[in-house]
Amino acid sequence: MDNIFLQISVLLGITVSIAFIMRILRQPLIVAYIVAGLVAGPLFLNLVAGGEEFFQIFAEFGIVLLLFIVGLSLNLDYIKKVGKAVLIGGLVQFVITSGFGLLIMTLLNFSFITSLFVAMAISFSSTIIVIKLLADKRDLESVYGRFVIGTLLVQDIIAVILMIFLNTSNSEGAVWYNTAITIGAKGVVLTGIVFLMSRYLLPHIMDKVATSGEMLFIFTIAWCFGVASLVYWSGFSIEIGAIIAGISLGASPYQPEISSRIRPLRDFFIVLFFVVLGSELQVTQVRDAIMPAIILSVFVLLFKPILLYFTMRFLKYTRRSAYLASTTSGQVSEFGFILIFTAIGINYLRGSELAILTLVALITIVVSSYIITYNEFIYRKLLPLFNKFGEDIHRKINEDNLKNYPVWIFGYHRIGWKVCEALAEKKIKFAVVDFDPAAIAKLKHRGIPVFFGDAADVEFLNELPLNKARLVISTLPEPDDQKTLITNIRQHNKRCHIIGNLYHSDHLEELYKAGADYIMMPHLLGGQWIAEILKTHSWSKSTFKKIRAAQKEEMQLRFTVSSH
C-alpha cells in the first residue's frame, strides 16, 4: 500500500476497532495503540512498507508532544506540598528496580549496555495510565493517590535527567569533561533565556492569546516547536527542547486548558509512534524476546509493588495506603520506549530491546490495569492475611486524643468548614476527620480536635468511637467512600443521625439504603436559596448588593478559617 493517505486511514480504522475491544475489556487505550502498531507492522499487515520515513517523522511529532505535556505537568510545588516522602519513594523505586533489573538481564546473558537500558526502562511506571485509572476511581486526592502522583513526578524528573545525560554523552571525539562543560554552559544560557521569557514575556502574550481558544492552541504548538528547535540548534536533542518548552508554560494559569487541548493531537501522533515501534519488530526478535519478557513482566508485576509497599511502610504510611499505592507501580512507562528509542538513535542499542520492552508493556499494562481498578476489593480479601502480622502500628490513633465526641465531621473543605463554624458557635463538641495535611495543620493550629485518616479505610473507622456519636456529617465528594462510612457506622450505631453529601443523584437511593438520614445536594440547596431570595426580597440593586457583600464576607471568612 503505497498511498500514505490510505495507509493512515487503514491504520486509524484498525486502531479504533482495537480500541473498542480494549474499552470493553476496561483497558487503557495505550494498549490499543501498541497492538495496532504490532498489527500494522511487518509482523502482520506491514502497512508501513514504503512510508517508513513519513511515519518516522510523525512518530517524532508524537514524542515531542508527549514530552511537552510531561514538561507541562512537572509541578515541583506539588512535590513540596506532598513532602520529601515522595522524593525518597521515587528515588528508591528507580535505583533498586534498576539494580535488580540489571542483575536479571545480565543473568539472561545480555550485554551490560543492553541490560542497563532495559533495566532503567522498566523502572518507570506509566504516568498516563496511572493518573487515568486513579481519576476514574476518584482517588487522585486520597492519601495514597497524592503519594503516587508525587512519585510519578519524581520519576519523570529522573527520566528527563537521563535524557539530558544521553544527549551529553553523544559527543564523539571529545573529552568527556570538555563536553560536559560546553553542554553545561549552553544549558545555563538556554535555561536563563527561556526562564526570562516565561517570567516576563510569556504572561503578557498568554493573556492576549488566551481570549481565543483557537489562538491559544496555535500559539502553544508554535511555542512548543519553536523552543524545541532553539534547544536543538543549541546542541541538545529535540526531546529535551520539548520538555523545556512544557516546563516554561507549566506555571501559567492557562496550563490546564493548554494540556487538555494538546492531548488529542498528542494521542494521534502517539498512535503513529507505536506503529513505527511495531515496524521495528521482526519475527525473530519477538520469538527471542518472549522468555526474557515473561521473566521481566513477573519482576515488574511483583517486585516493584512489593518494593513500593515496604518503602511506604518505612515512611510510616498505613498498610492500606501502602498497598493501594503499590498496586499502581506494576507496569512500564511510555518513557521507557522513548529512552530505548533515544539509545538506538545514538547507536547505544541495536533495536532488539524494543521487542522485549513491547511485550513487557503489553503484559504488565493489561494485568496491572485490572489490579489498580480492583485494588480496594483485593485489599479487603487480603486483610485477614495482613492482620496475621499484628496491628498496623502506623495506623494507631493516639488514644489520649480519643473521646466520645457527639458530632463527627468527615471532610473539612468547601462545606465542612462552615459546619464546624456553626458547631463552634453553638458550643457543641465535635471532631474532624480529613486526609489533607493542610487542613490538619489548620485545625490543629485552631485547637480543633482532628484525626488524619481516610473514610474509605474500614480499619481506621473501627478505631474511632463512632458507636457513641449522635450526629455524623460527611461532606466527602465520593459516593463509594460515603457508602463505606455509612455502612460501617450503622453496623455499630443504629441511633446516630447521618448526613451525607452528593453532587448528583445517581447514588442517592443507594446511600439512603445504606443508612443515611439525609443527603445534602449542593445544587438543590443553592437553587432553594436563590428561590427564597427571589420570593422574599425585592428585585433591586440594593438587594443584590447586600447579598454580594454577604458573599464577599463569607469568602473572606472561609480563607481565614478554612483550609482553602
Give the pLDDT mean for 212-236. Answer: 86
3-state secondary structure of 420: helix
Mean pLDDT of 274-295: 80
> CA-CA distance, 182 to 481, in Å (whole number)?
55
Confidence of residue 172 (pLDDT cuts 50, 70, 90): low
- What is the model's pLDDT at position 561? 46
410-425 per-position pLDDT tens digit: 988 778 888 888 898 8
- CA dist 425 to 247, 249, 419, Å? 46, 45, 10
Average confidence score pLDDT of the chain: 84
Q: What letter represents residue 454's amino acid?
A: D
More confident of the two residues 547 and 192: 547
pLDDT computed for residue 49 by the predictor: 66
Average pLDDT over residues 545-560: 75
335 pLDDT tier (thresholds 50, 70, 90)? confident
3-state secondary structure 152-190: HHHHHHHHHHHHHHHHHCCCCCCCHHHHHHHHHHHHHHH
How does pLDDT run across 422-465, given as a tens digit for each residue?
898 888 999 999 887 778 888 888 888 888 888 888 888 888 98
What is the radius of gyration, based on Cα positions, of the chain? 27
Q: Is 497 helix (H, G, I), strand (E, B) or coil?
A: strand
Local confidence band at 512 (pLDDT 50, 70, 90 cut-offs): very high
Provide the pLDDT for residue 560: 47
Q: Measured between alpha carbons, how far is 519 from 533 in angstroms, rounded to an integer?
A: 23
The predicted structure's pLDDT at residue 407: 94
What are 94-149's pLDDT values in tens digits?
A: 999 999 999 999 999 999 999 999 999 999 998 888 988 888 887 887 888 889 98
Per-residue pLDDT of 371-412, as tens digits, reads 998 998 899 888 888 888 877 776 656 555 678 899 999 988
pLDDT of residue 171: 53
8 Å CB contact between 372 and 28? no
To which H or E segment does residue 4 belong?
Answer: helix 4-24
pLDDT of residue 559: 47
For the stretch 235-275, pLDDT in tens is 777 888 888 888 888 878 888 888 888 888 888 888 777 77
